[in-house]
Each structure stands twice: as structure tokens, then as C-alpha cells.
Amino acid sequence: MSKNYKIAVVPGDGIGKEIVPEGLRVINAVAEKHGFSIDTEEFAWGAGYYIENNEFMPENGLETLKNFDAVYFGSVGLPQVDDTLPAKDYTFKVRTGFNQYVNYRPVRTYPGVQRPLRSEKHIDFVIVRENTEGEFVQMGGQYLPDEANGMGIDTSVFTRKGIERVAHYAFKLAQKRRKKVTHITKSNTLINSLSYWDRVIAEVAQEYPDVEHEQMYIDNSTAMFVLKPEIFDVVLTTNLFGDILSDLGGAVMGSLGLGGSGNINPEKDFPSMFEPIHGSAPDIAGQNIANPYGQIWSAAIMLEHIGEAEAAKNIMDAIDKSTSEGALTVDLGGKASTSDVADAVIKNL
């Protein structure tokens, strides 16, 4: 009997509405080839939904998503909607509500894609970003914001449990790769929170003697991403640093539009959510020019997570073939439209 998966689809806003359907075409095509089927249900949540309903998703949104094997997501946010809301009311709600404490964000070279770096060395590493706590817990407040003596505070939270679980994930991942974890910190200045982060990671590292463990400051690591990206294998980092480093990773690949990712609940107690690393790009939305490779890569990461590794590999090979054949969008110096790229990937499956 052929396997069937239930996928919740949340295109969101802006280019999400264009690249998610193209990603779905690829998923359906690869499913047919590999003898499994996908049932999708689409949820029109996000900033557009907020304009109509005063909320980013219904109150029982998480309850609804719980019934699915995975969530295939674009991105949320629109210029006409308060931009403090999309993360708080959608993305973080799903990431924390579903214990998706790993943000898995791979960085690699794509054949045929011009990179901004001079080095021609092959790049292949994974950013493992802590995804539920750290700098993004949104604990804080504003005091007298309209007054001359106004102030705003955000508190970072680093718990032993939160650090240990993501560190174990990173070291286990490294064991399956080139056996190196570089953990990113700034404990020379954030002497309380991040020296605790360092300490707990160092304790976890002792359980993985076969994995090289290196510590690097965030400022130096941004330079190394540009100057020597080939030294990285698994980059273990905090929520904020990982957010920034993953856009840099996208740029190093050649475009933000090239990065795929997974918000992973490793225990599979809840569905995981798969989305490109970028946002809703309202500046280029509605023109069928957005680069869908990151969204398509996210589909591959999703299929691997739900147990269809061969289909995932098939997508990655088809992506490589497509970029080397020159199926490149405007951001990559090409002329292909969003749907041309999906057509090329489907043809190359």
C-alpha cells in the first residue's frame, strides 16, 4: 500500500503566495515518481488574513495544524501591517507551540550559480539555530515610550534544557557529516547568558569525543562566513545570531532566495514546519520573478523529515541540474520566471 501524507500549506503573504504553489507542484511530481501521495489543505493565514480578521491565524490554529504530518510555509508580513506582529502571532507561535527547537538551515554551493565570494572552494555546512528561546522570547516591555525618558527592554533567556537539546541535535548531526561543530557565542561581553551557553555546550560536547568542537565569537564568525566558509560543518548558534547568520549564508550562496530550512521538532511529537530562510519580499511580489529554489529545497528537507529521503535526494539532484542548465531567476542574473524554475526542476526529476 502506498504511503499518504497530510501536509498543511500556509503560503502566507507576498512572494509566499507565488513560490509555495510552485514548491507544491514539485512535491506532487516527486511523490508520483516515488509512489507516495500527498493530501494538502491550504490555510490563508498571515498579514493579509490579519487585515480581514484581526488575527494572523484563528485561535485554534495550532490545534488544526497538529493533525498534519508537516507544515509547508512561505512567509508572513506586509508593509501595511504592524511588523511586530508576524513573528509574534504566527511564526514564533508555531515554533514554540510545537517545540520546533531546531532551526535547520543548510548552506551550500549551487552549480552554475555565481557567488559573491572570490573563493571557488566548495561550501557545505548547516546552521543549527536554537529556535525557541534566547534573544527572541519577547519578554520585556516599554516604559513611558512617548516621554523624553522613555525606555524599552527585551530579556534573553537561555535555559539548560533549551541549550542541551539543541546542542545534542547539533553534535548528532555532525556525527553524520564531517564531525565538526562550531558553536557561536559572544560570551566575552554577554558574560552571564552566553557564558552559560558556552558551559552547557562544552558539557554536551564531552559526550561526543568523535566530534571536533570549536567555539567562535559572532563577530569573527561573520568574517569567516565570507573569508573561509569552507571551514564550517555544523554551526550551532543562538536564535538571534542564527537569524542573522542564515541571511549571510543565503548571500554567500548567491541569493537569499536560495536558502531552504526546517523548523524541526526532532522527537516528532508535533509537526515540523518548512520554509525558505527569507521573508515575504513585498518589493518583488506579484511579478512571478521570485526565486523559488529555497522554497523547493524546503520541500526536500520536509520530505526527508517525514521519511521520504529518496524523493528528497531526487529533488536536490533536479535542483542542481536545473541551476547548471541555467534556470536562473533575476536575482541570480538570469531571466527565468518563478514558474519556469519549477518547470525545470520537475522536468529534471
Q: Which residues bind ligand NAI (CB under 6 A)?
A: 15, 75-77, 83, 86, 91, 255-257, 275, 278-284, 290-291, 294, 331
Closer CB to ligand NAI, 75 or 182, in the complex: 75
- Residue 311, phi then psi, degrees to nearest 5: -65, -40
- Cβ 277 to Mg ion shortest distance, Å: 6
Least Å distance, CB 216 to ligand NAI, is 24
Smallest separation, CB 30 to Mg ion (Å): 27
Q: Which does 243 bind (CB under 5 to 8 A by kind): ligand NAI, Mg ion, none?
A: Mg ion
CA dihedral 211, 216, 220, 226 (to 10 degrees): 20
| Minimum CB distance to ligand NAI, residue 135 (Å) | 15
d(C-alpha 5, C-alpha 69), whole Å: 6
75 within 8 A of 81, measured Cβ to Cβ: no
- Mapping DSSP to helix (H, G, I), strand (E, B) and coil, where does residue 191 land? coil
Q: Which of 78, 6, 10, 14 is nearest to 257 (CA)?
A: 14
To ligand NAI, the closest distance from the beta carbon of 147 in angstroms equals 28
- CB of residue 243 to Mg ion, shortest distance in Å: 4
Three-state DSSP state, 194: helix
The footprint of Mg ion on residues 224-253 (CB under 5 A) is 243
Q: CB 99: neighbour CB atoms within 10 A?
A: 18
Comparison of 130 and 275: residue with beta carbon closer to ligand NAI: 275
* 135 belongs to the binding site for Mg ion (CB under 5 A): no
Q: Which is nearer to Mg ion, 137 or 200 (CB)?
A: 137
Binding of Mg ion by 304 (CB under 5 A) = no
Please state the closest distance from residue 336 (CB atom) to ligand NAI, in A. Answer: 12
Residue 13 found at the interface with Mg ion (CB under 5 A): no
CB under 5 to 8 A by kind: which of ligand NAI, Mg ion, none does 164 bind? none
Scanning the structure block, which residue is given the C-alpha cell 532551526? 103
Residue 53 CB contacts under 8 Å (≥ 6 apart), including other chains? none
Q: Which is nearer to ligand NAI, 182 or 239 (CB)?
A: 239
Is 308 among the residues that bind Mg ion (CB under 5 A)?
no
d(CA 130, CA 242): 8
Instruction: Render the burial of 156-177: b for 16+ CB within 10 Å, e for the rest.
Output: bebeeebbebbbebbbebbeee
Instruction: Rank residues 133 and 308 by Cβ distance to ligand NAI and give the closer one.
Output: 133
* Amino acid at the residue 191: I
Cell of 205: 560536547
If the CB atoms of residues 137 and 205 are measured against ligand NAI, the closer one turns out to be 137
Residue type, 277: I
Q: Does 130 bind Mg ion (CB under 5 A)?
A: no
Output the residue with the shortest Cβ distance to Mg ion: 243
Comparison of 86 and 229: residue with beta carbon closer to ligand NAI: 86
Tell me which H or E stretch contains 74. Answer: strand 70-75
The residues of the shown chain that bind Mg ion, judged by CB under 5 A, are: 243
